[in-house]
Amino acid sequence: MDAFIIHGGRRLRGTARINGSKNAALPILIASLLTDEPCVIQNVPNLRDINTTYRLLEELGKTVTVSGKSVTVGFRRKLKTKAPYEIVKQMRASILVAGPLLARFGNVRVSLPGGCAIGLRPIDIHLKGFEAMGAESHTEQGDVVLATEGLAGRTVRFSFPSVGATENVMMAAAATEGVTSIENAAREPEIEDLADFLNKMGATVTGAGGKRIRIEGAARLSGAKHRVIPDRIETGTYLCAVAAAGGDVTLKEAVYEHLEALIAAMRKAGAKITKVPGGIRIVSSGRPKPVSILTKPHPGFPTDVQAPWMAYMALCRGKAKVRETIFENRFMHAAEMLRMGASIVVNGNTATLRGVPDLSGAEIMASDIRAGAGLVVAGLAAQGTTKIQRVYHIDRGYERIESVFRRLGANILRVKE
């Protein structure tokens, strides 16, 4: 297993290019199941979760040809309608195959993903969406089995704006004749990117990015070519790293409008962030002022940047709170940051941080993608040497994060254990 060794306390300087978004690429790759024609997806990051998606598509009957950052998904044989546990357990987003396969073939069987390090993560909202469109579901030997005599366009009201459920129902609706309307839909930029792709395939999707999405499906969708949006969570992680470790960095291709809640909070804390042609520039300004945040669905503060933010706020001049409202167990990094000298008290879904002047290097462990990224930020800002184990979690969502930070002047190495 790989580990990172970080000799912290170096300022970060220069330019980094933001990769394509993992969480936009995953549903778009899966949407290729809606057609037998080839789909060309560009700006796809090279990540563990993306590779798992290729294996899933191949298992279902597609061909996947990767050339640099461009991926062609093609036809090999009639698709299977069963996603096996062996793949689903590695990546929960596998549940997104349910929508396209159910709409096209009238039945689908997907292993239930189960909980993960950050929470229980049920799929009831996805299932209610499919049921509203005319499907029936039951659980059998750990799999969710969905069947329908034919989906129909309907109004689907979500109790919570789930990102995955919105994507799943959008994909099902794109291949269902009639009009489906999703009320209380998720508004994340990744939803808009999927809507763009579905429109290129021949569906008519309007309202994505807002609370109500209207999807007019088509009996037959075609192949399409699409460039995935830049990764706002990677961007947010690097912003926190520069603010915490100090420095002056321009993030090329970063989209300012996708991160307004984070940027507003960082500015309040004192960081200087500007929109520059083709990206975002950040200039640090020493220890942050305390700023309390609350994670929320987009356009609120993103839960996926909460851990990197916490590493930054651990250094604040005063007391700041972090409230996590999206996932019930997303403070695993706090215990590791305590080992680095942070002062954090967790009570339910609220962490209270009393800022310290410096973090100190320690041996710590990543527990999920973003907790791991938060620890990298803490290690870059800390005095002394930090060793982060279980880096495979970080590799699920960041393409060679250590190379990016090394180019910006950090002293970070990947070692084999």
Known catalytic residues are 116
Helices and strands of the chain, counted as H and E runs: 14, 24
Of 88 and 362, the one with the shorter C-beta distance to ligand EPZ is 88
Nearest to 4, CA basis, from 271, 328, 387: 387
Tell whether residue 139 is a contact of ligand EPZ (CB under 6 A): no
Least Cβ distance, residue 10 to ligand EPZ (angstroms): 26
Tell whether residue 165 is a contact of ligand EPZ (CB under 6 A): yes
Tell whether residue 26 is a contact of ligand EPZ (CB under 6 A): yes
Least Cβ distance, residue 369 to ligand EPZ (angstroms): 4
DSSP 211: S
Amino acid at 151: L
Of 306 and 386, the one with the shorter C-beta distance to ligand EPZ is 306
Of 121 and 227, the one with the shorter C-beta distance to ligand EPZ is 121
Token pair listed for 274: 């500007």
Helices (H), 255-391: 260-269, 306-313, 332-339, 369-381
Residues 168-197 that bind ligand EPZ (CB under 6 A): 186
Tell whether residue 23 is a contact of ligand EPZ (CB under 6 A): yes
Are the beta carbons of 335 and 401 closer than 8 angstroms?
Answer: no
Q: Which residues have CB under 8 Å from 336's CB, separation 6+?
A: 362, 364, 365, 367, 371, 375, 378
Residues 36-95 that bind ligand EPZ (CB under 6 A): 93
Of 126 and 214, the one with the shorter C-beta distance to ligand EPZ is 126
Tell whether residue 113 is a contact of ligand EPZ (CB under 6 A): no
Token pair listed for 232: 């706002």
Are the beta carbons of 255 and 189 closer than 8 angstroms?
Answer: yes
Over the window 324 to 353, marking each residue x when it contacts ligand EPZ by CB under 6 A and - when it does not, the resulting string is --xx--------------------------
Tell whether residue 303 is a contact of ligand EPZ (CB under 6 A): yes
Token pair listed for 202: 């021949």
Distances (CA, A) of 233 to 33, 45, 50, 158, 238: 26, 13, 16, 25, 9
Tell whether residue 229 is a contact of ligand EPZ (CB under 6 A): no
Tell whether residue 164 is a contact of ligand EPZ (CB under 6 A): yes
Of 9 and 397, the one with the shorter C-beta distance to ligand EPZ is 397
Residues that bind ligand EPZ (CB under 6 A): 23, 26, 93, 119-126, 160, 162-165, 186, 303-304, 326-327, 369-370, 397
